[in-house]
Structures are given as C-alpha cells and as structure tokens.
A and B are shown apart, each in its own frame.
Chain A
Amino acid sequence: MKTIKTLLVAASMGIATLGAASAVYAAGAPSEMPDGAMKHKKWSFNGPFGTYDKAAAQRGFQVYREVCASCHALDQLAFRHLAEKGAPFYNEDFPNPNDNPLIKGFAAEYEIADIDGDDGSAITRPGIPADKFPPVYANDIEAASVNGKPPPDLSVMVKARGGGADYLYSLLLGYEYDMPESMEGTVGVGSYYNPVMEGAVIAMPPQLVEGAIEYEDGTEATKEQMAYDVTQFLAWSADPKLEQRKRVGFGTMFYLGILTILLYLSYRQVWKDVEH
C-alpha cells in the first residue's frame, strides 16, 4: 500500500514537472501553419537508446560544406570533433581524432587566420584537426550587409528551436506552401514565405534543390534526403555527447533501480516489528 502511494506520488511529481515544461513550450507554439508543414519524423536519435545515423550525418556534413557553409558558421565545432567517439566520422583505427586522415583532409581545405611565428605578421595557413571551423564573415555587420540579416550560427541550432530536429527538417522543406492571402504584399524583397519560421517570413532563400550536390556515397540527392541528412549532422553538432549520455543514463538508472529496491527491502526489514 505504502509503495503504491509512494509510486503515485513519484509519478505525479514527474507529471507535474513535465506539465510545467510543456506549458512553457505551448507558449511558443506557432499560430497558423498549413497542414503537414511541420513534419514529425521518427529520428534515430530519439528514444532511450537512440543513436545518430552516421552515414546520414556524414552526407549531412557534405550538405553543410557544399550548401550551408557559404553563409552559416559552426562556431562551436573544431574539425577534430567530427571524428570523436559518437561523431559521424569516428574511426576505431584512429582513437585520437587528430590522427584521422579524413579529418586532416577536411581541415586542410580551410584557410585559417594565424600569426607568423617569426615576424608576427598576419598570415593564413591550411587548417589542422585541432582548429575550429573558421567564421564565414569577419563580423555580424559584414554578415548582415551581405545577407540582409546575419545568418545564424548552426552549431547548436537544433537545440535552439522549440521543435528541434523536426523544426529544422520542416523549415528546409517549408518553401513549397502557398502564401495565405492575408500576407500577400507584406513579404518584402529578399524575404520568403515559410510557414515553419516564426512569423512565417524568412530571409534565407530556398537552398535545397534537387540534385544540387552529388553525394560521395552515391545516394540520390533529393530535397528530402538532403534535409534529412543535414538535420542528422546538425543534431549531432548540437548534442555531440547524446549517445554517451544515453548509455551512461541507462546504466545509472538500472543501478539506481536495483539500489532503490534494495533500500525498500532494507526499509521493510528495519521497520518490520515497528508499529507506525
């Protein structure tokens, strides 16, 4: 009886907190959206044992490099992150990601600003795995003058929007809807209607065009495929320790579960002859 009560209390505590959390999200829900604009996909990384789809994330990196990278930076990422454990390009043969030849190759494609060690003059040199992804623009003002608005950094984008991966995926595919009559004439030059975006107006032109890139692994580059792949990549980028966290989490919960059962039995034993 007591246990059932305890479990009920525990459950209601959990539900109350979840309720509070969802109330916070409800406040930010977009108002009117055409049916199907917000797509709900079964992401491989959801669920208690979720992992990233590495092949898709690798392709997603290609999408990032060939499409997104011309405007969007990845401030928080270093090249070596790409080959760490749980990352898209992890290779068992190179436990130290700095040795990974693939990553060395990616890094070398970038020019990194540095200072000459002999005379202190400003130079650029090819990147190494330890370097961070260089910024796309010198500063926000330059980014804004080129694009109208500074393109946001993508390294934590999937976490920075209420809908997460679904949001990003839907946004990339959200250019195909017809603008409602009430909005006609309100969207200026250099802006686009996209119902997934907050306010339904976005400064980014549609980027994913059928066959825009040629996948190295031969996968057909449909819009949906590219959106899916780049979402996998950016989901990893936003939460690179997800797989480790879920693995440790399962172990911890399992251990705690056993411990709690033992504690309950100890409690029963200690209180066995006590009226209370």
Chain B
Amino acid sequence: MSGPSTYIPRTGIEKWVDERLPIIRMGSDFMTYPSPRNLNYWYAFGGILTLCLMTQIITGIIIAMHYTPTIDGAFDSLQRFKRDVNFGWLIQPMHAVGASMFFLAVYIHMFRGLYYGSYKAPRELIWILGCVIYLLMMATAFLGYTLPWGQMSFWGATVITGFFGAVPVVGESLQQWLLGGYSVSNATLQRFFSLHYLLPFVIAAIVGLHVWALHHAGQNNPIGISVKTKKDTLSFHPYYTVKDAFAIGIFLLIFCFFLFFQPDALGHADNYIKADPLVTPAHIVPEWYFLPFYAILRAVESKLMGLLLMVGAIAVLFVLPWLDFSKVRSMRFRPVTRLFFIVFVVMCFILGWCGAETPDNMVFTVGYKPVVTDLAAYLELTGGTLPSIGTDREIAAATAELTKAAEETCNLDGSKSLTEYCEAKPLGLNFLWLTRLATAYYFAYFLFILPAMSLIETPKKRPDSITESVLGHNTNAALAPAE
C-alpha cells in the first residue's frame, strides 16, 4: 500500500515469511497507516460496514445450513429454524435486521462521501467501486428478501422482475430467463438462493479493491485538503481503531435495540403469510431501503421510462466525479452547493416517503372540487335525456354542457359531497406529483446543479493544511505525540 513500509521483522520466522509472502508486513502497514488527524465520526462507517458484511455472511451461512430452497419448504424451514434450532431465534432476525442496518450504514457512508467530496480526484475509483458494491448490495438484498417465501417475498419479486419485461425487444425473454419460467416459481426461488449466496463473496472481493484503492490514494477528510506532511496524520492504530470501536459500540446498541426489542419493525407483516400466487396483497411495498428507488420507478406512467429513471438514478452516481468538477472537495467551503446538498438529502427522504405511499393519496388537501360521477342519475332526477342526434362532436359538446350544469348543482358541504351523482375530488398535492418533484430534483442535483456550481460558485477561503485547520494559524505549536 502507499508510503514506505515501516515494518521491521523481528524474529527469524517473521523474516522467513516476509521474504516469501509479506503478509505480516501488509497487516502491520495497515495498522500503522497514516490517516488524516481530523477525521470525524462520519468516517467510522467504513469499519461499521465491514462489520455488517461479516455479520451478514456468518449469519447467512448458518441460516443456509437449515434453509430449504423450495416453494413448499422455504417458509416452514425458517419457522423451524427459529423455533427448534439453538439460537435460530437470534440468528434469523440478526440477518434480517442486519440487512436494514447494513443499508442504514451504507446510506450514511454515501452521504458522507457526497458531502465531503470523497469522489473527487484522486479517489474516483474508490467511489465507483463503492457504487458497484452498493449495486451488488441492492441485488443481494432483493434476492434475499425472496427467500423467506412470504407474501411480500413473492409479490415483490413478481413486481420487480416484471419491470425487466419492459425492456424493449428482449424484455420478455429476459424476464423469463431471470425467473426460469413464466412466473415466480420454484425455479426462481432456487436460482435466487444460489445467487444470494454468491453475491456477498463478490461484494467482499470488491470491498478488498475498495480498501486497496483507499490505501493507495489516501483517505479524504472533512476539510478535503490533501495530506501534505507527516504532521497532518496519525497512525491508524491506536487512534482510529479506538475511535471506530467507540462508534461501532453506538451502532451495535442501535442494532441490538431493533434485534431484541423490535425485530419486526423494519419488515412487513405480510411476509409472515406464506406466499400465495392467487392472493395479491393490498399494498406491495419493498423494504424501506428501496423505497426512494421504488418511488422513482413509479414516477412516470410508462414502465420502461420508470425502469430507465431508476437505473439512471444509480448510473448517475457512477459519473458523479466528472459532473462535479469543482476543485474544492468539502462542502464546508462551498456555501451555496451545501444548501443544495441539504435539500438533496431532504428530497431523498421525501422519495422514501413517497415510495411507501399510494401515488393517488394526498400529501395535503387545500379544498374540494365537485366531479360528476353519475350523469345518468342526474338526468333521471331532472328529467333530462342524453343528446343522441348529431355528429359525435356535437354529442360530446352537449354532454359536456350537461355535465357542467350537473356540476353546478353538486352540493359540496365543506369536504363531503351531499349529492348522489357527485363526488368531492380533493385538490392539492398528491404523492405522484410529490414523487415527480423529488425525482426531478434528484436528477437536477447531479446533472445541472453540481456542474453549474462547479463553474460559478466562489468557495470560501480554505486552510492551507490539515494541521493549520486543527491549530488555527499557529502551525509551529506542538502537535504532540503521534508516535
């Protein structure tokens, strides 16, 4: 990794190993890796995520020992695992809650990267590898959610694979190839299980590359000024091992709260009902961590456009290092972009909210508009008839006139329609339009705001070095002990 190695083999065995496979050197250099001295707690999520990945893999391997990947056996095998296998009651929720915690941590890690400009040169590949990991995590989580074979498992898989059918020309074949049939079936469950077991190891491999690239390019830091002298850094151990350990303690407390006291709060009750292809749940919603993307998927009428938007929402992250070409990394010195960033975070939460709601539901209602729902009933009451002679256009015009007349007699008392043939249509903002607004901002942030700000924004004055930012201007004062 970067920098000259400080490892000195002390014993004969260490020397022997070091000449043949310098693996102890690698570990030692890893522990003494010079890290910027000003890293805050937002930088603890790398360690937290490593822990999450390990937890998921270990619990997953144990669950796989007891899991039956068939449509008749899957649901019951997990129930048996939780009821009859020692600590099954702990390990299965640990895996399920662990998935949520993993995403919680990865989202914070990503927002951290966005805020401090960790995707900028020379760290583009760290960021892109991170995006690949995130994409693989989404795939793994989606595949894994199918495995308990509850109602949401089945219908979630049906809805999401359905979107592949929207791909032009090859869509139908692609969908059938993914499913191993014409619908979500035993073949689907078995291949999803196989892939769900495979992908975490691919993730682990890419995490290796991610960390390798990080150690080569060096960590970014909250002020985004590159490390210049040795004084700017501290040895990873003990300074950051102890700081990360404290952060992990806090994270585990949150994890354990959900695991032991609210194990089902992050899931959906319907997944405790065995999958039934003949009964569609009233609301099909994905896990909370997919809600923003689910909202984007539904932001437009066309399935294909929805799919493109959702893929685009992730694809745009891959090219972010070239969309935001401002030389200033940290938002601390970009006052205007910082405001846009805060709005961006809020919009992401709004998208999550929209993803959980039915698009036609109202966010807020300012009033009601009468709408005639049953013109025939109105005509019967008033003794009128529908026009029947004349051209189509004349009939349509006459009908519209009658409808308007009927509308005027609609009795709207505040919020409710009192006349049988009318209905009160709420006026205001529904979730569909809120979704569209937030989706538009999501893309605008990356495609217009960041490039534009890179050109026009005047950044605040930045300190010359990390040391200066830590000590004010008195760079000669004792920075104490380091080694």
Contacts and interface: CB of A to CB of B under 8 A. Distances in A.
Given A23-B352, A259-B249, A270-B238, A13 B285 contact: no
Given A28-B282, A260-B246, A23 B288 contact: yes
Interface stretch (B19-27, B177-185, B269-277, B314-322): B269-277
A10 B482 CA distance: 29
A275 B76 contact: no
B245 A17 contact: no
Interface string B259-302: 11101111011101110000000110100110100000000000
B261 A246 contact: yes
B contact face: mostly helix, strand, loop, or mixed: helix
Nearest to A18: B265
A189 interface: no
Contacts of A161: 269
Contact of B266 (A17, A48, A244, A253): A17
A10 B83 contact: no
Interface in A1-41: 2, 5-7, 9-10, 13-14, 16-18, 20-21, 23-24, 26-28
Interface in B356-389: 356-358
Contacts of A256: 249, 252-253, 256
Interface string A154-176: 01100111101000000000000
A27 to B, nearest CB: 5
A112 B268 CA distance: 34
Contact of A252 (B243, B256, B272, B471): B256
B76 A245 contact: no
Interface string B387-419: 000000000000000000000000000000000
Contacts of A148: none
B86 to A, nearest CB: 11
Nearest to A26: B356
Report the interface size class on chain B: 35 or more
Contact of A20 (B245, B263, B291): B291
A75 B481 CA distance: 65
A259 B245 CA distance: 10
B353 interface: yes
A contact face: mostly helix, strand, loop, or mixed: helix
Contacts of B273: 152, 160
A268 B288 CA distance: 36
A24 B249 contact: no
A72 interface: no
A274 B289 CA distance: 38
A267 B247 CA distance: 10
Interface of B: 37-38, 41, 76, 79-80, 82-83, 89-90, 100, 104, 108, 234, 238-239, 242-243, 245-247, 249-254, 256-261, 263-266, 268-270, 272-274, 282-283, 285, 288-289, 291, 349, 352-353, 356-358, 470-471, 479-482
12 contacts: A6-B247, A17-B288, A20-B289, A23-B288, A23-B352, A28-B269, A160-B269, A245-B263, A253-B256, A260-B246, A267-B245, A276-B470
Given A23-B288, A23-B352, A24-B288, 15 more contacts: A9-B41, A13-B254, A17-B266, A20-B289, A23-B357, A28-B283, A159-B269, A159-B272, A241-B89, A248-B90, A256-B249, A260-B246, A264-B249, A266-B245, A266-B246
Interface of A: 2, 5-7, 9-10, 13-14, 16-18, 20-21, 23-24, 26-28, 48, 75-76, 81, 152-153, 155-156, 159-162, 164, 198, 238, 240-241, 244-246, 248-250, 252-253, 256-257, 259-260, 263-264, 266-267, 270-271, 273-276
